[in-house]
A and B are shown apart, each in its own frame.
Chain A
Amino acid sequence: MKRSHEPIFWSLFGAGGVLSALLAPILILITGIITPIGVWMPVQALDYARVLAFAQHWIGKALLLAVISLFLFHAAHRIYHGLHDIGVHAGTGTMTAAYGGALVGTLVSAYLLISIGF
């Protein structure tokens, strides 16, 4: 019997589920709502120099890569398996698009985090 690759994707889905359950609400609130409008968080909190220093630190790199990559893999798994619910046949093409997209996002993030320097 052909070995299933489902456990790999389920692990990434689970890891992304935990990480997004822990961090996604506060991250969305900070980067997308309160800092842009400057309420409860000074606009300067996400200034260029500060965020650049964060992305150049190894802890910042690890966090950014984990957040972007695992959020994408979590979403890819849910969207792929949810296609059936909205009447779209899930096959090799949709699977490649879902997980392939998450993989491309991961590789691009890793490349950017390396190219941004240390």
Chain B
Amino acid sequence: MARVKTFIRPMEGWWRKNPFFVRYMIREGSSVFLAIYAVILLVGLLRLTQGEAAYDAWRVAVASPLSLLFHWLALLTVGYHAYTWWKVSPKTAPDIFIAGRPIPELVISGGGWLATIGASILIYIIVRWM
């Protein structure tokens, strides 16, 4: 049977043509960095169970230039995920009403952004000074 030569619209690079889809792909792509980061932590935990020498070798690997580059990219993309996660939260969270009025979207998103900033400062203080 002859192959049917129906035109199939090429979809290669579809998301690069529109800034909205570029942002969408960065946000979705952040999950790849998040997964790799979780695996790095998991390996660190494994090395921790193997003793001080193994754990220190893991720390040397994490301080390598390639690792630092990865963590910078992860910080930027996952940071963008954090921003968008709270930005869409008024639409994804159940509606909350106070005295019969819906809470303004900016208050919900803003609460999330402040929670991230607050948690970040708290963790920094704990790791640095406690």
Say yes or no: A41-B127 contact (C-beta < 8 A), given A31-B62, A72-B35: yes
Q: For A25, give its contact among B31, B44, B48, B78 (CB under 8 Å).
A: B78
A78 to B59, alpha carbons, bound, how many Å? 29
With contact pairs A32-B71, A105-B42 given, residues A23 and B119 touching in the complex (Cβ less than 8 Å): yes
Cβ-based interface call for A90 (8 A): no
Instruction: Please judge, given known A-B contacts A48-B52, A71-B34, A74-B34, whether A23 and B123 are in contact too, CB under 8 Å.
Output: yes
11 contacts between A and B (CB under 8 A): A22-B119, A24-B37, A26-B120, A28-B75, A36-B68, A37-B68, A46-B127, A51-B48, A75-B31, A108-B46, A109-B42
Which 5 residue pairs of A and B lie closest in terms of their CB atoms, listed nearest first?
A32-B71, A75-B35, A78-B31, A36-B63, A26-B120
Is B25 within 8 A of A85, CB to CB? yes
Interface residues of A, dominant DSSP: helix
Within 8 A of B (CB), among A5-31: 14, 17-18, 20-31
Q: B127, A45: Cβ atoms under 8 Å?
A: yes
Do A82 and B75 touch across chains, with their CB atoms under 8 A apart?
no
In the complex, A109→B61 CA distance in Å? 20
Tell me whether A62 is interfacial, beta carbon within 8 Å: no
* Cβ-neighbour of B123 out of A27, A64, A112 (below 8 A): A27
Which of A22, A46, A77 has its CB near the most chain B CB atoms (within 10 A)? A22
Sample of 18 further A-B pairs with CB below 8 A, known A22-B115, A55-B45, A72-B39: A17-B85, A20-B82, A21-B116, A25-B78, A25-B116, A29-B71, A30-B123, A32-B68, A33-B75, A35-B127, A36-B59, A46-B59, A46-B127, A48-B55, A52-B55, A68-B41, A75-B31, A78-B31
> When the two chains form their complex, are residues A51 and B123 in contact, meaning their CB atoms are under 8 A apart?
no
